[in-house]
Amino acid sequence: MRTLALLLVALAAAGAAPAHEADPGAASITPENLMADVRALTAPELGGRLPGTAGYDEAMRFCSERFASLGLTPGGDDGWLQRLTMELNRIDGCELTLVGADGVVEPLALGSDFACRGFTGSGVADAPVVFVGYGLSLPERGHDDYAGLDVRGKIVLAIKPAPKWEPVDGEGWGDAHLPRPKARAARDHGAVGLLLVPHPVAMRPQPAIASVLHGPGEQVGDLPQAELTTAAAARLCAGGLPELAGLVAAMDEAKAPASRELPGRARLAVDAAYEPAAPTANVVGLLPGTDPELRDECLVIGGHLDHVGRQGEVVWPGANDNASGAASVLALARAFAEGGVLPRRTVVFVLFAGEEQGLNGARWFVAHPARPFERTIAMLNLDCVAHGDSIQIGGGGSQPVLWNLARGLDAAQARLSTARTWPGGGADAEPFHEAGVPTLYFASTPSYKHLHQATDAPETLNPMLHKELTRLAYRTAVDIVQGWYIGEGEKSR
């Protein structure tokens, strides 16, 4: 794989003009500026930017002040803020100790061996562990991992993802495999705690991740819920990982439950506080278009500001996901505001809340436009844009003209984009795509080594890649707002 340093040497040797000579906007996007903003957004005081908390509010204030200092126009319904509410679960403490099949007591390390599920309930569960397969109780649909099992007063251990195979009715698993419906099934059967583990066969060994994606339905506030590594979970089985993997393989082979009591036990203690509708906001700034014919059309440039927060003393900083994308949005705002380009169309800069919970902020933005424009000509999403060594641009399967525009601009500059793309939107671009807005999704690649782990820290980022990707997004945005790109049709330049 080509390194950026080699590429820059090659460009210099070829006598290519440095980008900044031609383009002060792009030149204002520097690794130093980007990393300064990433560091500010990942500071421990911001607590992993969980919407509804003081840390997320501080991140909103940081971005609002930047927009103000750049002379943007407030684009929210309350100044820079577009207010909305969403569920919030503050996790003030959590501990998990296993008593292995061998009787050895092992306290697990929060943030590496295990993490609470974002919408865990509170309480202390200290009980033997029962393996409940995929944790699905759908007897009316021909599958019940709890059939014939007494889990009252027990902690249940379930495989986290949905089965790869279909239920007998062929209707798919729907939302039943998500953590909240699994928690409800566990609680309804009298269990006192839920442990989720990655699939031990189908997946590479996975770390325990923190996640606030929980699925529909009522909060199960009295059931502590955590996710642990396969290696930790295997200690609950007499035969270790081979036994756990064998149980799951047998279950997948037979497409039938293989639930059973395990010799190990666990103690899971969680202190959490749930709010069904905590106030939070998207942050929105506008750069009004200057062309009387085109200024009622807009380009939306967005990235999510939120991450998964903290649990007890452990903070998930979310440097790549998505302090990097938020820093890029701020850098793009600066490039437009100070780079001398007078955009013909209006540029809307948005930092979304609640992506991690299920695209809440982006969905809200699309459904409740604070400024209704005649047309949103395109949306550029920046999410996980600074880890790795290359650039991936999603959405090309649905928007080949837009994708080729960005790819062509990259070919003339950094030449870091891969040929891989995907159709549709993805993440915060998805609600825009669903609404018929052409989208591109900028991400670095390989981007997800530290995804949702406490190790997603600024030191793991590639600042030069971050700069090149952000400059590429900027050049793409300039072409869109200046009219070179004219939507469904041709690129006319």
- Map residue 248 onto helix, strand or coil: helix
From CA 279, how far away is CA 162, in angstroms rounded?
32
* Cα angle 110-113-119, degrees, rounded to a multiple of 5: 60
In angstroms, what is the minimal distance from the CB of 443 to Zn ion?
9
Q: Which residue has the tokens 């995804």?
A: 451
Chain-centre distance for alpha carbon 438 = 21
In angstroms, what is the minimal distance from the CB of 389 to Zn ion?
19
Cα end-to-end distance, the chain, whole Å: 33
Residue (163 or 303) nearer to Zn ion, CB: 303
Residue (271 or 321) nearer to Zn ion, CB: 321
Letters for 318-337 (x = contact with Zn ion by CB under 5 A, - = none) are ---xx---------------
From CA 75, how far away is CA 85, in angstroms rounded?
18
Residue (322 or 346) nearer to Zn ion, CB: 322
Residue (131 or 441) nearer to Zn ion, CB: 441
Residue 215 one-letter amino acid: G
Cβ count within 10 A of residue 346: 26
Greatest CA separation for the chain: 76
If binding is defined by CB under 5 A, does position 227 make contact with Zn ion?
no
Omega within 30 of 0 (cis) for the link into 381? no
Letters for 374-413 (x = contact with Zn ion by CB under 5 A, - = none) are ---------x------------------------------
In angstroms, what is the minimal distance from the CB of 449 to Zn ion?
14
In angstroms, what is the minimal distance from the CB of 452 to Zn ion?
9
From CA 284, how far away is CA 2, in angstroms rounded?
37
Omega within 30 of 0 (cis) for the link into 400? no
In angstroms, what is the minimal distance from the CB of 308 to Zn ion?
10
Residue (383 or 479) nearer to Zn ion, CB: 383
Residue (160 or 450) nearer to Zn ion, CB: 450
In angstroms, what is the minimal distance from the CB of 252 to Zn ion?
30
Cβ count within 10 A of residue 165: 13
Residue (321 or 479) nearer to Zn ion, CB: 321
Letters for 302-321 (x = contact with Zn ion by CB under 5 A, - = none) are -------------------x
In angstroms, what is the minimal distance from the CB of 427 to Zn ion?
6
Cα 176 to Cα 95, 138, 256, 265: the distances in Å are 27, 9, 16, 26
In angstroms, what is the minimal distance from the CB of 173 to Zn ion?
24
Residue (145 or 383) nearer to Zn ion, CB: 383
Cα 364 to Cα 65, 105, 218, 353, 472: the distances in Å are 22, 47, 21, 9, 28
Residue (144 or 383) nearer to Zn ion, CB: 383
Q: Which helix (H) or strand (E) holds 470?
A: helix 463-482
Closest alpha carbon to 275 in 328, 222, 221: 221
In angstroms, what is the minimal distance from the CB of 318 to Zn ion?
8
Letters for 332-371 (x = contact with Zn ion by CB under 5 A, - = none) are ----------------------------------------
From CA 62, how far away is CA 303, in angstroms rounded?
15
Size of the site for Zn ion (CB under 5 A): 3
Contact residues: Zn ion, CB under 5 A: 321-322, 383
